[in-house]
Amino acid sequence: MTSTEDLIGRAEVDDLESILAITNRDTDEIVHAVQDNAAAIFTWDYEKGARPALNKLYEKAKTAQWNGETDLPWETEVDQEKVVLANAAANNGLNDGMDLTGTQFEHWTDDEWLKLGIEFQNWQLSQFMHGEQGALLCTAKIVETVPWIDAKYYAATQVMDEARHVEVFAKYLETKLSSHYPINTHLRLLLDDIVSDSRWDMTYLGMQIMVEGLALAAFGFIHQLTTEPLLKKLLRYVMADEARHVAFGVLSLKEYYDELSLAELRERQEFAFEAAVRMRDRFLMQEVWDRLGVDVKPAIEIVMRAPQRQLFQQMLFSKIVPNCKKLGLLDAGDGWLRQRFGELGVIQFEDWADTGDEYDSFAIGSEAGAAVGT
């Protein structure tokens, strides 16, 4: 059996010391090469619609394209300080309503909190941008490696979607925010693992189910919290696409996983667990504390106790867990993944809606979409 140490490089999931020991030392690199180890698969079976659900998704994607340059209100002025203050006022205040007596933050001034808020915006949008590039590359790989024509067609539309996502996040960072961050190491390790795996379904599992499932939940959370209208609309548009992408993963893998042996499923369970831990680690924003000159470990220990933070941390898994359940990964074999998700404190989402067919409710202009602020 593979040990936790083999999977994530440490024996204890919550070992903060080990998590923080991994940092990005290649901050000056311009390109980063990863061997993708996969065969490009041609298919001579061109029957369109052999997989009706994928065909429907493809037809939907063709009519749901938008233009990042012209459909978003780029003329909106974004004053980062004002956004931090407005978000704080609309939510829990600058320090999330915490009692910080006796901590290194006890005597922080409003200016210091403001600076943290601004750096947090810079960091968060930077990581979203890097993650979107990961999706762009992974989906281009799926076009090559998936054996079904309906899936190749759909994946091709997703490649376009992801190009647009990278474009709009990069433009937002460049024109509205004050600085950017290199890719977080935990995120990079995960993307490297996904890209380098030779099995086509692992690209889907890592990207469409885990990374995009988490992104859909994170974007939804931030979409609700932010008071900045340009970002709100940008996230709303991106979410409409992401809901289709996650559905693409669920619909494709459901068919494939029904055929796998327990040993093969166990490898998928382990991969899902590894991805979940890496994604959780990446949200510790260690680079922000570093940049602000704050002692990183105690800062993170305090942040982890913040009520809004805990809610966010858990909500990140609100799409992933039901989708893993739908794919049969939660309970396959001895229910290994159920147990691990239990340890991560996210198993309570197992009966939430899965994303196999809820993408319509995220569509721009849809009636249900109005509920999430279209």
Task: Pick between residue 149 and residue 209 the one whose CB is nearest to Fe ion.
Answer: 209
Task: Pick between residue 154 and residue 336 the one whose CB is nearest to Fe ion.
Answer: 154
13 binds Fe ion (CB under 5 A): no
CB of 212 to Fe ion, least distance (A): 5
130 binds Fe ion (CB under 5 A): no
Task: Pick between residue 13 and residue 170 the one whose CB is nearest to Fe ion.
Answer: 170
CB of 215 to Fe ion, least distance (A): 7
Q: Looking at 72, 88, 129, 135, which residue binds Fe ion (CB under 5 A)?
A: 135
Task: Pick between residue 162 and residue 354 the one whose CB is nearest to Fe ion.
Answer: 162
Task: Pick between residue 231 and residue 265 the one whose CB is nearest to Fe ion.
Answer: 231
The window from 92-100, 128-136, 271-279, 330-338 that contacts Fe ion (CB under 5 A) reads 128-136
CB of 211 to Fe ion, least distance (A): 8
CB of 244 to Fe ion, least distance (A): 8
Amino acid identity, position 310: Q
Total number of residues binding Fe ion (CB under 5 A)?
A: 7
Task: Pick between residue 84 and residue 140 the one whose CB is nearest to Fe ion.
Answer: 140
The window from 160-168, 265-273, 325-333, 336-344 that contacts Fe ion (CB under 5 A) reads 160-168
CB of 165 to Fe ion, least distance (A): 4
The window from 23-31, 44-52, 101-109, 207-215 that contacts Fe ion (CB under 5 A) reads 207-215
Alpha carbon distance 374, 365 (integer Å): 6
Helices (H), the chain: 4-8, 16-21, 52-63, 80-90, 110-145, 149-176, 185-196, 200-203, 212-225, 229-257, 262-282, 286-292, 296-303, 307-315, 320-326, 336-343, 367-371
165 binds Fe ion (CB under 5 A): yes
Contact 61, 154 (CB under 8 A): yes
Alpha carbon distance 135, 358 (integer Å): 20
Long-range contacts (CB closer than 8 Å, 24 or more residues apart) made by 96-104: 96/306, 96/307, 96/308, 96/309, 97/307, 98/302, 98/305, 98/306, 98/307, 100/302, 103/298, 103/302, 104/294, 104/295, 104/298, 104/299, 104/302
**Per the structure block, which two tokens stand in for 373?**
């602020």
CA angle 162, 48, 37 (to 5 degrees): 50
Q: Looking at 130, 223, 244, 245, which residue binds Fe ion (CB under 5 A)?
A: 245
CB of 115 to Fe ion, least distance (A): 29
In eight-state DSSP terms, residue 361 is G
Alpha carbon distance 309, 315 (integer Å): 10
**Per the structure block, which two tokens stand in for 228?**
């900045």
Q: Which of 129, 320, 135 is nearest to 209 (CA)?
A: 320
The window from 17-25, 228-236, 238-246, 304-312 that contacts Fe ion (CB under 5 A) reads 238-246
278 binds Fe ion (CB under 5 A): no
Task: Pick between residue 219 and residue 336 the one whose CB is nearest to Fe ion.
Answer: 219
The window from 86-94, 155-163, 254-262, 277-285 that contacts Fe ion (CB under 5 A) reads 155-163
User: Which stretches of the chain bind Fe ion, using CB under 5 A?
Assistant: 132, 135, 162, 165, 212, 242, 245
